[in-house]
Amino acid sequence: MRSSEVCSCAPLVVIGSANADIYVEIERLPKVGETVAASSGQTLPGGKGANQAACGARLSYPTYFVGQVGEDPHGSLIQDSLGACGVRLDHLNVVSAPTGHAVVMLQPGGQNSIIIVGGANVSWSGLEGGISPFTLGTQQLIRQAGVILLQREIPDFVNLEAAKIAKAAHVPIILDAGGMEGPILEDLLKCITVFSPNETELARLTGMPTETLEAVICAAKKCQEMGVGQVLVKLGEQGSVFLTEHGQLYMQPCVPAQNVVDTTGAGDTFTAAFAVALVEGQPLSDALQFAAAAASLCVQAKGAIPSMPERKAVVQLLQENSVIAKMQEQ
């Protein structure tokens, strides 16, 4: 079932960024003052918010995207791509600012370095005179959501307004720490149900080391001291760690990928798949496995949105890994 079909489920509402990702494939990063030739280049739809919305829809869950694009070809690219995935775009704003874009420098082995230009993503109207940046319809959508998914590629005041509306309506909120590098508003952290950084973001936000599992857990506890209820740390090839508000620890190994092509959308896929599993009411351990399987499939294709897996593929991978695990136990 595509998310555009009629469904009584409380939807996943993703509020965030949409970019045109300009991919260049290079053997290595250039040194200062150096020019290097790319073996290929192309423009694909992306942005953390759009990626996560596409993932939710591809996993057959009703998904809305709240964001902004420009009146330009890049904006059309994003709208067409999200629409093809089944994402509801009723609350997508088309503004005069250019669509955000990113330069993705893809190196051998799927590793990447990314430069972001905010554009329409950072052109939201401010909270002047107490007026919300969201329309009344969007505010109502947030209140009726099953879960809200936020990232840090849009202004903090937009995330905070969304979080306040959701919290008042008792809607769970997941904040992906990816995006801007600055400190996170204390008021925003206090609204968050699940905070999800990777190890680099966790170290930057807490000022603590994250080179070992023990260090990651200590840093996650620091996040809780900052006001966050639960922490989900993405550790790439090392899997993930989830710390509940009561201090219970869940560790999820990664699901090995047969061939790593591009890691660009892996974290977004993991977070969105976890959000889908959470709103579906899956047990926490199952939700983490579901997210790990989705991320494993994502890295095996180029591009963020184009690599988002269908639910059928995720379920099949989980079943295959379950069979392998049982065989190893015998």
Question: Are the C-beta atoms of residues 49 and 18 closer than 8 Å to each other?
Answer: yes
List the catalytic residues: 268
Show the tokens assigned to 315. Answer: 């379920």
Single out the residue of 103, 45, 6, 69 nearest to residue 308, CA to CA: 45
Show the tokens assigned to 147. Answer: 């879960």
Single out the residue of 121, 109, 98, 110 nearest to residue 51, CA to CA: 121
Q: What's the CA gap between 91 and 68, in Å, rounded?
A: 9
Show the tokens assigned to 26. Answer: 């290079």
Residue 155 CB neighbour total at 10 angstroms? 18
Amino acid in the structure at residue 140 = Q
Kind of pairing between the strands at 230-234 and 194-196: parallel
Question: Are the C-beta atoms of residues 301 and 309 closer than 8 Å to each other?
Answer: no
Show the tokens assigned to 300. Answer: 């095996």
Q: What's the CA gap between 316 and 318, in Å, rounded?
A: 5
Q: What's the CA gap between 120 and 154, in Å, rounded?
A: 9
Show the tokens assigned to 323. Answer: 């069979």
Place of tokens 């739809």: 45
Question: Are the C-beta atoms of residues 26 and 106 closer than 8 Å to each other?
Answer: yes
User: Phi/psi at 126 (nearest 5 deg)?
Assistant: -75, 170
